[in-house]
């Protein structure tokens, strides 16, 4: 197979685009997709300070790598979940990545916060992926706001976005659907959130990380085994394999044809200006979810 | 496993409802689902004349069987597609069914109409399932209107409806989505269409047909092999198996939460009062699709 752009031997086949590229042309293609996402979705300008939420995995480190390469002012934020045999390896990769590029890295240590994930799961019996997502979201939002970043960027890819979209559509979770999209506008004490890799699949990101020697952590979280979101990824990948191009059509179609009708389903929180009396995080409850969680863990001892 | 209703030995397990029934209680459950569909969706009243589109398969014959049992005035319409080794067997089952119940049966013979499906496929190279669907829809609508039926009923089941919904959502086919639902209101020269089995799965209908000795044709159309709609059925069945209850939630949620927003995507045809000068069928084109097809086949010789 030949590279569509230069005619040299192709190395990466992109079935969904009915095409293939050599390494150099794939890099160009990949960067173009990111630039297009940033531009078309009006994500940010070169003057804005960006906080990249990094887990140590291929998606978030590739995103940080590219933003730095493109000359953006991008710092990293790593939340150390304190999951033994997992978090320490991820943290090491993130620290090395930042050091090598002399980039600013902020670390939140959940041990110091009193809510390491394994302890929370053990004490509360809550579903690990749900609680972990909530805790990470909290610190991403809080640090981005308190440290005066303009933008919070995450490494969500097309597989993440479409599998979540499929799951939300199968159950018509309107309040979740309204929040889906590559850009979430700023709200009271919440900075604007963006997903510059939303046009690219996991496969494409892995290929890009590989050919750019991005040293990421490839381990799987021990809590994610059998997680529901992985099942929907499986289905969306099967469908994409059989009908190439479905993922991008599905997501773009949602943004263009359904999203405009979802405004009535907007949640109240996003427009309220009420805050948690302890930490200042926006919430409609007397205490925010994380301060309540901390209280629960303290009481459990 | 015990029957949920009477406590006897269960014979049919319904994972999506987390329950199981014995034969008699399953019959009751099944009839309740049909009655609920008819009532909740305001499908028809006992005084209305119903035309049931029958293929000879389990869904349409079960529907006809139940409507007659419930005392409705229901006639059958069979379109003989003239697909060798297939249509003649289906026709035989339909004729026997009608005879046994002394029910009125109308037959359209595509040979006499000059457009037997194999000939159309051969001469035009068109996709068989698409052309067959178009031809059947045409005669269903035309005969129902010309013979003054109030209602056109089809045997579409929950698997048909959800797999079509999934396919339409993955590509955001708004003009198809707007037409999805258990009831299509009447339009100019088009009678109201209903799907009384929309709450029931293929599995449930097969079980009902079996225990009621409904003698149906179980053969597969030779043209349907590898058809796309079968693939989406496969995916929706996989998802249902893993997450029981998804199908009904998915479909009901669509009707309740998305359908109301789709009115702007209504097609022009459904509101126009223009007709084909040859056959009187509603169309925006100078000739309707079927009269154009007939012309094409005649020219090809």
Residue spans per domain, chain A: 31-300
| pLDDT 10s digits, A37-53 | 999 999 999 999 999 99
Q: How far apart are CA B226 and CA A129, in angstroms?
A: 38
Establish, for the pair of chains A and B, how many residue pairs have beta carbons separated by less than 8 Å: 50
Are A27 and A208 spatial neighbours (Cβ–Cβ below 8 Å)? yes
ipTM of the complex: 0.89
| pLDDT 10s digits, B208-263 | 999 999 999 999 999 988 788 889 999 999 999 999 999 999 999 999 999 988 88
Say how many C-beta atoms besides its own lie within 10 A of residue A271's C-beta: 9
> Which positions in chain A touch B238 (Cβ < 8 Å)?
235
Q: How far apart are CA B285 and CA B272, in angstroms?
A: 11
Chain A residues within 8 angstroms (CB to CB) of chain B: 169-172, 174, 228, 231, 235, 238-239, 242-243, 246, 249-250, 253-254, 256-258, 261
Query: DSSP string spanning A211-262?
Result: HTT-----PPPGGGTT-HHHHHHHHHHHHHHHSTTHHHHHHHHIIIIIGGG-
SS3 A12: strand
CATH class of segment(s) A31-300: alpha beta
- Its sign, for the CA torsion A61, A66, A68, A72, is negative
| pLDDT 10s digits, B157-174 | 999 999 999 999 999 999
Q: How far apart are CA A35 and CA A219, in angstroms?
A: 29
What's the pLDDT at B16? 85
Q: Count H helices, E strands: chain B? A: 11, 8
**Measured CA distances, B47 to B40, B150, B186, B257 (Å):** 18, 9, 17, 32
| pLDDT 10s digits, B7-16 | 999 999 998 8
Superfamily of domain B37-259 in CATH is: HUPs (3.40.50.620)
What's the pLDDT at A16? 85
pLDDT(B271) > 70: no
| pLDDT 10s digits, B34-70 | 999 999 999 999 999 999 999 999 999 999 999 999 9
Q: Is A246 in Cβ contact with B172 (below 8 Å)? A: no
For A263, name the nearest residue in chain B, comparing CA atoms only: B261
Of A239, A256, A258, the CB nearest to B235: A239
For B260, name the nearest residue in chain A, comparing CA atoms only: A261
**Locus of tokens 């893993």:** B242
pLDDT(A77) > 90: yes
| pLDDT 10s digits, A257-271 | 999 888 888 777 666
pTM comes to 0.92
Q: Is B174 in Cβ contact with A250 (below 8 Å)? A: no
- Expressed in angstroms, the distance from the first to the final Cα of chain B is 62
Residue B270 pLDDT class (50, 70, 90 cuts)? low
């Amino acid at each position: 197979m030949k590279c569509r752009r230069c005619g040299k031997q192709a190395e990466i086949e992109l079935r969904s685009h009915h095409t293939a590229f050599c390494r150099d042309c794939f890099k160009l293609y990949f960067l173009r997709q990111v630039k297009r996402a940033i531009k078309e979705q009006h994500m940010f300008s070169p003057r804005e300070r960006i906080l990249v939420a990094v887990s140590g995995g291929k998606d978030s480190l590739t995103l940080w790598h590219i933003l730095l390469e493109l000359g953006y002012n991008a710092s990293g934020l790593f939340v150390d979940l304190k999951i033994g045999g997992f978090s320490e390896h991820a943290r090491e990769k993130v620290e090395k990545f930042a050091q090598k590029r002399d980039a600013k890295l902020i670390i939140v240590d959940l041990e110091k916060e009193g809510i390491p994930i394994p302890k929370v799961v053990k004490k509360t019996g809550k579903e690990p992926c749900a609680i972990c997502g909530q805790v990470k979201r909290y610190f991403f939002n809080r640090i981005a706001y308190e440290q005066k970043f303009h933008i919070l960027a995450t490494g969500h890819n097309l597989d993440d976005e479409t599998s979540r979209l499929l799951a939300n559509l199968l159950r018509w979770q309107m309040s979740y659907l309204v929040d889906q999209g590559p850009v979430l506008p700023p709200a009271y004490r919440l900075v604007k959130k963006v997903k510059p890799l939303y046009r690219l699949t996991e496969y494409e990101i892995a290929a890009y990380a590989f050919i750019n020697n991005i040293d990421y952590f490839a381990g799987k979280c021990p809590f994610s085994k059998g997680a529901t979101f992985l099942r929907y990824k499986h289905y969306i990948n099967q469908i994409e394999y059989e009908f190439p191009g479905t993922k991008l059509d599905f997501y773009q179609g949602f943004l263009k044809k359904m999203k405009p009708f979802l405004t009535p389903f907007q949640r109240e929180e996003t427009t309220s200006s009420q805050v948690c009396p302890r930490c200042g995080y926006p919430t409609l409850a007397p205490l925010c979810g994380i301060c309540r969680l901390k209280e629960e863990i303290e009481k459990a001892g």
